Chains A and B, each alone.
Chain A
């Protein structure tokens, strides 16, 4: 069964305290794995796409990595403005199956 599991459900960090969010997946033929940021009351905002194991993408304090079974979103020296829910999604190779995880709610305290 195709599924996406994100952990932890919630994460509280002090400003500057680096950490990682996990996204583990099972899908029949991975075409792509996607990371999004969602602020309260808003739609998800696209961050990264990863297509193959070993691939890495970076944007400011965020770095996404991919293995054959999971992806990590590393947050280096986070700031309060990084507080949001981070969503992971996978697309199956037949394109019409697109699964989201339930997200990790990140709270960065000043």
Chain B
């Protein structure tokens, strides 16, 4: 089992460019999450998907969109990147919302110039 995989590992964008971060899990989990991690601020929830076909906003959703493509995949899209979106992005999954975020991916380090 690969667990949670994320692509790409690193990305540099110019302000205004768009991109999609991909996440996939092979544990048959129902719930998936996107976080960003900034120095001194901890992980902040961007969006989550309680189950296939549903998505909801987390703490910091502005400037992002998500798609739960199927049970395995949950993508995060930046439509018009801004320097404030420079961060490390983590995807996570769990059996359900009632379960802890047990599994995190390795992260995507994004720099917006």
Contact = CB atoms under 8 A, between A and B. Distances in A.
Nearest to A95: B97
Contacts of A91: 100
A34 B42 contact: no
B100 A87 contact: no
Interface residues of A, number: 23
B105 A49 contact: no
A41 B100 CA distance: 22
B106 to A, nearest CB: 6
Interface residues on B, range: 20 to 34
A49 B99 CA distance: 9
Interface stretch (A13-21, A72-80, A98-106): A98-106
B101 interface: yes
A32 B100 contact: yes
Please indicate which of the listed interface residues B40, B41, B56, B104 has the most CB atoms of chain A within 10 Å of its own CB: B104
B101 A45 contact: no
A4 B56 contact: no
Contacts of B74: none
Contacts of A89: 43, 101
A102 B43 CA distance: 7
Given A44-B43, A98-B48, 9 more contacts: A42-B107, A43-B92, A44-B90, A44-B101, A87-B43, A98-B33, A98-B45, A98-B101, A101-B42
